[in-house]
Amino acid sequence: MEKTIPSKKRVQPENVPAPGGTYSHGIVAGDLLFTAGMGPIDPETGQVVGDDVATQTRQVLKNLAAVLAAEGLTFDDVVKSTVHLQELHRDFAAYDEVYREHFSEPYPVRTTVGSDLMNILVEIDFVAYKG
């Protein structure tokens, strides 16, 4: 028997890069917004922004802010983030410095891992609370 989430809603704002595959930018399920992993893509050009992790992190967070805003949310509503860095040891400090500029205490819980990314240095996804 197939189960469905009664309040599952797609979030697909126009001011973020088009999905690169079969996924939504965000899904609201109950009081939570789950975002897809966002990369450092400029929504107007479709191109990767920057060649360093700080510049790319700023673009990723800008893209994620647009998904949050589509539901009336901000970084203050984020409760969990998952971060993938192409070069974990090399780039963690620079990435964390930019990340810190966007969040205040209490910071969301976070998992940061090294991953094999597709021609980008950072990808981030969020879980935000809408309650």
Instruction: Write out the DSSP string of 80-94.
Output: EEEEEETTHHHHHHH
Q: The tokens of 50 are what?
A: 């920057």
In the prediction, which pLDDT does 2 show?
66
In the prediction, which pLDDT does 27 show?
96
Q: How confident is the model at residue 20 (pLDDT cuts 50, 70, 90)?
A: confident
CA torsion sign, 105 to 75 to 125 to 88?
Answer: negative
Stretch 19-31: mean pLDDT:
92
Q: How confident is the model at residue 3 (pLDDT cuts 50, 70, 90)?
A: low
Among the ranges given (18-22, 90-94, 95-99, 109-113), the one the predictor scored with the smallest mean pLDDT:
18-22
In the prediction, which pLDDT does 19 show?
87
Fold for the domain defined by 9-129: 60s Ribosomal Protein L30; Chain: A; (3.30.1330)
Quick one: what percent of the chain has pLDDT higher than 90?
A: 88
Within 10 angstroms of residue 94's Cβ, the number of other Cβ atoms is 19
